[in-house]
Amino acid sequence: MFRERIGLLTASAALVVGVLAGTPAVQATDSASARSDSGLGAEESAIPEPDLDSGIERSEIPESETRTGPLAVFAVVEEAWAAEDVEALLELLDPEEKVRLSFERGGPRGGYFNRDQAFFLLTDMFEFIRTDRFEFEKFWNLDSEGRFPYAVAVREFRMNDGVSHEDRVYLSLRMRDGAWYVGEIRSIDR
């Protein structure tokens, strides 16, 4: 039982890392190798492979759908970020719950913040960087069938010293009172 739980935890962690990095973390294996790798005996069955959602590329979304549902929120985030418009971004943050903000560089280091705190953090961020590009590349869970929509954007920016940087920004939404709000914004490894 312990080995099965460790196997599940390891597979789950690999799945999350792979999804955030944009690469498949779990490779399909035959049941015999899955049993031998996990330490399961011949009489025990291997853990079934999770059904990975590879997300939807930006180019696969019809233009007519980009202004409805979660995509409308992602579109406003993209426009506000590119314009470095803190007020527009604040309107999209969850008004009742704290929002996670975390950046490796070119932004707040990390934590959970209310709208007032986020205002100062985002204002400072945009004073110390210049955004050259902010564009969502891939989207997940847009059907919102009990899951939170999220997307990954490419962010190209320059620090005050003029050095250019590029990273990926993970942004997730949450539903409150029938409307979508941003619940998390953080940079992720490529």
Q: How does pLDDT run across 119-159, given as a tens digit for each residue?
A: 999 999 999 999 999 999 999 998 867 789 999 999 999 99
Q: Which domain holds residue 78?
A: 58-188
Q: Are 164 and 158 in contact (CB under 8 A)?
A: yes
Same domain, 126 and 44: no
Residues in the chain: 190
Same domain, 12 and 98: no
Q: Mean pLDDT over all residues of the chain?
A: 78
Same domain, 38 and 78: no
Give me the CATH number covering residue 138.
Answer: 3.10.450.50
Total tally of structural domains belonging to the chain: 2
Q: Enumerate residue ranges in the chain where pLDDT < 70.
A: 1-52, 66, 144, 190
Give the pLDDT of residue 131: 95
Residues 40, 34: Cα–Cα separation, whole Å: 8
Same domain, 114 and 31: no
